[in-house]
Structure 1
Amino acid sequence: MVGKKSGRALLREEGLARTDNNLDLTTWPVVNMINQKNYYTEFLKRDDQFLAYRAPAEEERNRMVREARDKDRALAQRTPTEGAAYLDEGTLDEAEAAITPREDYTSKLIVLHVGSQNLRIGLGSDALPKTVPMVIARKWKENESEEGGGEPSPKRLKVDGVVPAEAYPEKWFGEDFANQYQTMCSELRTRMRTNKRRVLPNSKELVINFNRRTPPDIISEHNDIDRIEWTELPLNSSKAPEYFTGQEALRIPETSSPRYKLFWPIHNGTFNESDYTNRNQLYHDISKIFEEAFRTQLGITKPKELANYKCVFIIPDLYERIYVTTMLDILIRDLGVGKVCLQQESLSATFGAGYSSACVVDIGAQKTSICCVDEGMCIEESRINLKMGGSDVTETFIKMMLFDHFPYSDMNLKRRYDFLLAEELKQKHCSMDEGYVTVQTLEFHLRAFGQDTRRYQFKTYDETMLAPMGFFKPSIFDHSSKLEDRRKVVPRSVDLYDGAPNDPVSTAQVAVIEAAGGKSATVNGTQESTNSLAATSTPARSQQLNLLNRLNDMEGTPRSSVAGSPAPEGTPNPDRDTPGMGENDQPLVFRDPVLEKTKLAEERDKVLPIMPLDNAILESLAQGARGEDRKLRDFFGGIMLIGGGSKTPGLGAFLETRLRELRPFYGKEILVGPPPREFDPQVVIWKGGSVFGRLSSSGNDSWISKGEYDILGSRLLSNKCMFAW
């Protein structure tokens, strides 16, 4: 009888015993159990964890601690003697006032408003800003009037290769301009007869005959009491300064030795890429203009002093990101300004005028911006940027007068003294009041370097009104060079992650571009012609735009067809020969959204945004009201004209009449007016920036300091801007 075996022996004999050779069963990493106490976090979930919010709070806390220490030190230094038990209340107040004075924000606050033609600059304590021409003159081989073979501006067209003689100025600007000019003259005569105005039939002949036969009077220089002080240059040309800025640059003689050429860094509200071939040179010129303005206008002679100053920089409503980031980089890194705050033009205008809501129409030198402001915020979809302004009126005014045999037929806007003369004539004589459309005898003095003063007499009739009428008929303006070299020097701003264009675009601006491109728009789901776009898009009868269709139809680029081109005969068709695919089945087409956005942005850049001013205002109001009739009526009653171009007499009343003709349902509500309190329309935006900058720093989180900017750069703007960046 075999003895009974133990269980351990059976496992060993049967091979069922477990053996361990210390080898892992798998090479896959083992994930340990999560610690239940640490799996929840608040990282970047509170505002105080962001540098943009934390740094100002820490700065304010340090300021309060510093003021408390100064107060304690003042009290300790003024401790009474042993005979006095306490300080009376008056002595305590005097100590606090003497030792802890309040920081004077206004004397250390700079307000900058950059335009295409002028720079408005001043301190927060100033009542009005200083105006500096936004120009720099640099040493060059030839001046701007000698470039291109000395071709004048306005450009004279050649007939059979030759410019027509001075006896035929009506042929200088082509048949298109002549036809439009004659049409505008006929329309004005008809309008004046309708309004019971007296119209003489031979007014044009009187003007032309007088201008033809009136020679100038010569005045010697010592008899001219208003002679010009020209910019003096050293006799040794090698010691001449490398550049001049502001008014000094405009008063450099044309025949100076060495030659100087004028550069205007800002063109049509953005960077001037047609006169520059180097981006660094463009940025350097802007920096030099700012630096000289700080020195000459504000008395800041040492660059290190700018670290103690704050700056409110006013940007366009419909801005380009590369423009904003570049200007911010110039102010903080190149010039060393301590803190910078960004504010939009229309919002600043409402601050300056004291309005809570308004439709701001800013007519500048080379651009016109329209935006609806409601309760301290610019309505994004109502922003419009038109590339026309007062300089177009100046050029058209000169063309019309030359067309009518202006006695100074050699006028050239590329010459500095002629440019200043043309601006003076426009400001003095242009008007939108029909009562001034009569035959008038006027005069001006032509002062050129090294020449005797010439006194001209001339007559005008309707040119003074038809030139600013171009705001309502922009085809009379010359737009041929406004898109030259676009995106040649300064690239388009793109998204950091996917590389798609990220410049802001409003629905109203898309409508303007679509109308300027000659395409049809979708209104309430139906196709409308371009001429009736602005007239039908305003909700006069509570109409609302189909925004989805507009974005798809108007904003979208032409897509490639999903149906392929027909194959040659005899070529096998895989779709037809493949079993299981029907005749209507189409292959899938994969689209790149970044590529489509890039093409869309390129198509927009090819179209110049131009629209009659009244239609553009109606388009902006339609998007600003968002279909609410009450809000639309409020905006109609608060249309504010600002900017240098709005100073044309009678422009507000004429615009109000045009809007009432287009919107008779809102005739009583429509009101177009200048800024209140007899403000100069040119400085309202600057004044609003000054008011905004005076707010307490503790309640204003939009200041960008140099330390924050050095760490985060332009990424800081998404947390610092008061508008959607």
Structure 2
Amino acid sequence: MKRARKRTEQEQVCSHKMLTSSKYEKNLPHSPFVLVCDPIVNDFPLSFNEVLDPFNDCLNSDNSYPCTSFEPSKLTDFPCLDLSPQKPTLNKLQKNCNFNDECCSNDYIPEGRRCKGLDSLEDSIKPESSQEASSNPARELDKDSLKPKLEPLPKSASKIGEILQKRPLMAPTAGKRLYPQSLPYLEPIQVNHIIVIHPGSQNLRIGRASDSLPVSIPHCIARRHKVPGQKRYEDPWLVKKECQHAEAKLQQRRGLKQAEEALLSWPNNLGEYRSATSQKQLATYNSCVLGEWTDTHSSLNWTSTIDKPEFLIGEEALYVRTTDCYNLHWPIRYSQLNIHKGPGGTFSSVLADLETIWATALETKLGIPRKDLSDYRVVLLIPDVYIHKHVKALMNILLNNLGFSAAIIHQESVCATFGAGVSSACVLDVGDQKTSVCCVEDGLSHRNTRIVMDYGGSDITRCFQWLLTKSGFNPQHLKITDIVDTRLIQEFKETYCHMDQQQDGVYEYNIHIKKPQSLIIKYNSVKLGDECVLAPLSLFFNDMLALQGSQLCHTQQRYEGDSDDPHDDFYLLQTQSQQQQAARLNAARKKENVEASLNQLDTSFSQYEDTNLSHPQLVDEDSYDGPDNFSGNDTYKGERKLDLEEEEPQDTGPLLQLMGIDQAILHSINKLSNDEIKKKMYSCILVIGGGLNIRGVQGWIQHRLWSQMPVQFRYTLEGMDVITRAKDMEPNLIPWKGASVLSCLDTTQELWIRQKEWQQWSVRILRERAPFIW
């Protein structure tokens, strides 16, 4: 095996120029090639062009390089040269050379560890004779080929001399080696190829991350009967089994009385108190108002089922005639999968409905066929209080069934803070079926502060319908069990309800009843008073909702375990218990050793004292000033009971009772352990969701919280901001917008879970990639 020749003095000087030049101590991100230097001499990455720049100052008169071993035209002969462009960001350099046959080495390596590429280079540049070597010390290079590649430094001999004086000439202990830079490849962000999905109980918001607003459709599906003559089934919307009990009316009246007292006890901006409206007078007047048929047809139409489609989604599913052979399903209820004992209520049926709705919405609303979803990524928003099993099933739908290339899951409250542009806030999310409260600090949701209650905007609609009936407006054309009539009552709520304390008295409204393919019925001069304010106040005084049950308030449950994830919470608890037991045993052993040593010391002192008492002449009274008896080991003696049984922490403690949104906010913030964080949460309350998109709600939230919050925060708090329309957006669109912004950040790129990774690791990868504590 050939040995490399030693470098001449001129080559050493040129190499030292390259090592000591201040230009090469800069990490240029635009350099397309990376040169790894020896860690003893220099540890700065150099570009390929920068390797050749120092030799420009040492060129011969014929522009040839004296250092032939660094001739650029021969650098490609090294097998380990990686001339592929590298990423702009240069991480910590790693040396991958093991001095094998496939890697170039330096001039000083042991015999038998020679790089073949260097041997072939020496053979190609070795002069044929000594005369040729003396006459032509170096080969001439092609100037045209080198001109666009090189960026020569200014020839400044004085500057080089100053650098050489500062850094003395060092022996060439190791040459420079070129290594391929091992950097993680970051794919470019294509915003128009990222889909953001926010599934809700009532609406599905879906769209590209590049869209300004998402597409919103009713999150329901109508499936055709498989058996002719099958009875129609429809998931209930407003009617709840929790409000069908014997004390419902009494509970509603009690809650209504509390809401009226609160309404009359809060003065307006002028310091004047509201005057109560008489429901009896309103009922007497409204009972005389009769509906009139107009000549105008409604713009709504029934869905045509002549082609007998297997399923219909969105608006088409809502306006299917009851006589048609279709069942109507809502796959999500109370922010969780709608699993029940009725038709289509199994776990697999609900997942199949979600897959069908999402795939159809992508194809019909966004124009993305299912076969092209492998070119897209997806961001899925999940509720703050989630069920691990449900999240795993949704990830299987996105990556395995629909075929997205990568996915990210994130919580609604955290995405809402991104959409609103706040770093920390107490997020109040009032949806159609649920109300959740959570404290978010710097993009992290505090687990102990999460509360979900099973009431929302649909309960306000049901309460408003009850108050309209008490005020005498009860059209026979409206039925609370009909889905079309339910949407009409919800439209009344969104139009007429408010929480403006300055709006007082009785107002007249013209109410239109619109049904598909029917004439519009008009009710003129319907008078409404405090009913428009009392209905949304039911979220503060939830006795008006007449809900009773033990499972109406939820907190985050412990991970129930999964067969695909052996290192779950139960495993961690068991191993933690074993470690604690081992630590206790070690401490007990150490204590026993200490006690044994002290006992032995006591015995020695006792023998010594007996000896001294038997020979008092041997004891010098002045030399012994200690106590008469040494019994200091009494504090160390005593039996210690070692309890090896580790008590498991409870999931939620005692079950929480249903509470109003003001009490829920106070309870959530009180779960925080730091007073500074509590002040931060009190200072910013973010209201999202479409259930409480009512004018004047921010004043009521601020008034109720300020009167009930602890005194120490009331006097030290600078202000309380209640944000209901962040950045002039609808509150139900804020989480979706935040998720679209989040998906475009550079820091989010490492959170993507790719399809192959999910297929290999399944739910275990969520422990590493999920942006929240899984």
TM-score, length-normalised on structure 1? 0.64
Q: Is 1:362–2:362 an aligned residue pair? A: no
What CA distance in whole angstroms lies between the structure 2 residues aligned with 1:591 and 1:498? 23
Q: Deviations over 1:80-133 (max 9, x none)?
A: xx99986699xxxxxxxxxxx994510110011111111111101101111111
Residue in structure 2 matched with residue 266 of structure 1 by the alignment: 332
What CA distance in whole angstroms lies between the structure 2 residues aligned with 1:155 and 1:688? 35
Q: Could you tell me which of 459, 465, 470 is aligned with 1:398?
A: 465
Q: Is 1:682–2:732 an aligned residue pair? A: yes
Q: Quick one: structure 1 residues 705 and 478, their matched pair in 2 at CA, closer, same or farther if it must change by over 3 Å?
A: farther
What CA distance in whole angstroms lies between the structure 2 residues aligned with 1:396 and 1:372? 29
Q: 1:647 offset after TM fit, Å? A: 1.7
Residue in structure 1 matched with residue 713 of structure 2 by the alignment: 666
- For these two proteins, the number of residue pairs brought into alignment is 520
What CA distance in whole angstroms lies between the structure 1 residues aligned with 2:449 and 2:85? 46
Q: Could you tell me which of 724, 747, 758 is aligned with 1:709?
A: 758
Q: 1:202 offset after TM fit, Å? A: 5.8
Q: 1:452 offset after TM fit, Å? A: 2.7
- Equivalences for residues 210-229 of structure 1 within 5 A: 210-220=285-295, 223-224=296-297, 226-229=298-301
Q: 1:402 offset after TM fit, Å? A: 1.4
Question: Which protein has the larger Cα radius of gyration, Structure 1 or Structure 2?
Answer: 2
Residue in structure 1 matched with residue 390 of structure 2 by the alignment: 323
Q: Quick one: structure 1 residues 718 and 203, their matched pair in 2 at CA, closer, same or farther if it must change by over 3 Å?
A: same
Q: 1:241 offset after TM fit, Å? A: 0.9
| AA of the residue aligned to 1:627 | N
CA contact under 8 A between 2:264 and 2:275: conserved in structure 1? Answer: no
Q: Is 1:637–2:637 an aligned residue pair? A: no
Q: Is 1:472–2:540 an aligned residue pair? A: yes
Q: Quick one: structure 1 residues 416 and 670, their matched pair in 2 at CA, closer, same or farther if it must change by over 3 Å?
A: same
| AA of the residue aligned to 1:653 | G
Q: Deviations over 1:314-334 (max 9, x none)?
A: 111221111211111111111
SS at structure 2 position matched to 1:677? helix
Q: Is 1:343–2:410 an aligned residue pair? A: yes
Q: 1:291 offset after TM fit, Å? A: 0.7
SS at structure 2 position matched to 1:285? helix
Residue in structure 1 matched with residue 380 of structure 2 by the alignment: 313
Q: Is 1:294–2:362 an aligned residue pair? A: yes
What CA distance in whole angstroms lies between the structure 1 residues aligned with 2:457 and 2:721? 23
CA contact under 8 A between 1:390 and 1:644: conserved in structure 2? Answer: yes
Residue in structure 1 matched with residue 313 of structure 2 by the alignment: 245
Q: Is 1:254–2:322 an aligned residue pair? A: yes
Q: Deviations over 1:164-193 (max 9, x none)?
A: xxxxxxx99634323433453354334459
Q: Quick one: structure 1 residues 419 and 142, their matched pair in 2 at CA, closer, same or farther if it must change by over 3 Å?
A: farther
Q: Quick one: structure 1 residues 477 and 284, their matched pair in 2 at CA, closer, same or farther if it must change by over 3 Å?
A: same
| AA of the residue aligned to 1:267 | R
SS at structure 1 position matched to 2:427? strand
Q: Quick one: structure 1 residues 360 and 172, their matched pair in 2 at CA, closer, same or farther if it must change by over 3 Å?
A: closer
Q: Deviations over 1:562-615 (max 9, x none)?
A: xxxxxxxxxxxxxxxxxxxxxxxxxx9999978x97xx78x97xx676221112
| AA of the residue aligned to 1:251 | Y
Residue in structure 2 matched with residue 377 of structure 1 by the alignment: 444
Q: Could you tell me which of 335, 351, 354 is aligned with 1:283?
A: 351
What CA distance in whole angstroms lies between the structure 2 residues aligned with 1:434 and 1:414? 33
Q: Which is further off, 120-129 or 353-362?
A: 353-362
Q: 1:683 offset after TM fit, Å? A: 0.9
Q: Quick one: structure 1 residues 105 and 250, their matched pair in 2 at CA, closer, same or farther if it must change by over 3 Å?
A: same
Residue in structure 1 matched with residue 199 of structure 2 by the alignment: 114
Q: Could you tell me which of 406, 412, 437 is aligned with 2:479?
A: 412
CA contact under 8 A between 1:109 and 1:309: conserved in structure 2? Answer: yes
What CA distance in whole angstroms lies between the structure 2 residues aligned with 1:269 and 1:502? 26
| AA of the residue aligned to 1:295 | E
| AA of the residue aligned to 2:674 | G
**Structure 2: unaligned runs, 5 residues or longer:** 1-81, 88-142, 151-185, 573-641
Q: Quick one: structure 1 residues 492 and 621, their matched pair in 2 at CA, closer, same or farther if it must change by over 3 Å?
A: closer
Q: Quick one: structure 1 residues 482 and 66, their matched pair in 2 at CA, closer, same or farther if it must change by over 3 Å?
A: farther
SS at structure 2 position matched to 1:436? coil
Q: Quick one: structure 1 residues 272 and 592, their matched pair in 2 at CA, closer, same or farther if it must change by over 3 Å?
A: farther
CA contact under 8 A between 2:276 and 2:530: conserved in structure 1? Answer: no
Q: Could you tell me which of 250, 275, 278 is aligned with 1:203?
A: 278
SS at structure 1 position matched to 2:328? strand
What CA distance in whole angstroms lies between the structure 2 residues aligned with 1:247 and 1:482? 34
Q: Which is further off, 367-376 or 130-139?
A: 367-376
| AA of the residue aligned to 1:269 | S
Q: Quick one: structure 1 residues 245 and 608, their matched pair in 2 at CA, closer, same or farther if it must change by over 3 Å?
A: farther
What CA distance in whole angstroms lies between the structure 1 residues aligned with 2:669 and 2:247? 40
What CA distance in whole angstroms lies between the structure 1 residues aligned with 2:204 and 2:266? 39
| AA of the residue aligned to 2:314 | G
CA contact under 8 A between 2:253 and 2:544: conserved in structure 1? Answer: no
- Equivalences for residues 31-110 of structure 1 within 5 A: 103=188, 105-110=190-195
SS at structure 1 position matched to 2:760? helix
Q: 1:347 offset after TM fit, Å? A: 1.2
CA RMSD in angstroms comes to 4.0
Q: 1:721 offset after TM fit, Å? A: 0.8
CA contact under 8 A between 2:338 and 2:345: conserved in structure 1? Answer: no
Residue in structure 2 matched with residue 508 of structure 1 by the alignment: none
Q: Is 1:719–2:765 an aligned residue pair? A: no
Higher RCO (CA < 8 A, seq sep 6+):
1
Q: Is 1:185–2:260 an aligned residue pair? A: yes
Residue in structure 2 matched with residue 570 of structure 1 by the alignment: none
CA contact under 8 A between 1:709 and 1:716: conserved in structure 2? Answer: yes
Q: Which is further off, 184-193 or 701-710?
A: 184-193
SS at structure 1 position matched to 2:671? helix
Residue in structure 2 matched with residue 542 of structure 1 by the alignment: none
Q: 1:367 offset after TM fit, Å? A: 1.4
Residue in structure 1 matched with residue 401 of structure 2 by the alignment: 334
Q: Quick one: structure 1 residues 183 and 85, their matched pair in 2 at CA, closer, same or farther if it must change by over 3 Å?
A: closer
Residue in structure 2 matched with residue 692 of structure 1 by the alignment: 742
Q: Which is further off, 285-294 or 495-504?
A: 495-504
Q: 1:373 offset after TM fit, Å? A: 1.7
SS at structure 1 position matched to 2:692? helix
Q: Is 1:455–2:530 an aligned residue pair? A: no
CA contact under 8 A between 1:253 and 1:449: conserved in structure 2? Answer: no
Q: Is 1:174–2:249 an aligned residue pair? A: yes
SS at structure 1 position matched to 2:353? helix
Residue in structure 1 matched with residue 502 of structure 2 by the alignment: 435
SS at structure 2 position matched to 1:645? coil
What CA distance in whole angstroms lies between the structure 2 residues aligned with 1:499 and 1:475? 44
What CA distance in whole angstroms lies between the structure 2 residues aligned with 1:714 and 1:123? 26
Q: 1:206 offset after TM fit, Å? A: 2.9
Identity %: 27
CA contact under 8 A between 2:416 and 2:738: conserved in structure 1? Answer: yes
CA contact under 8 A between 1:417 and 1:447: conserved in structure 2? Answer: no
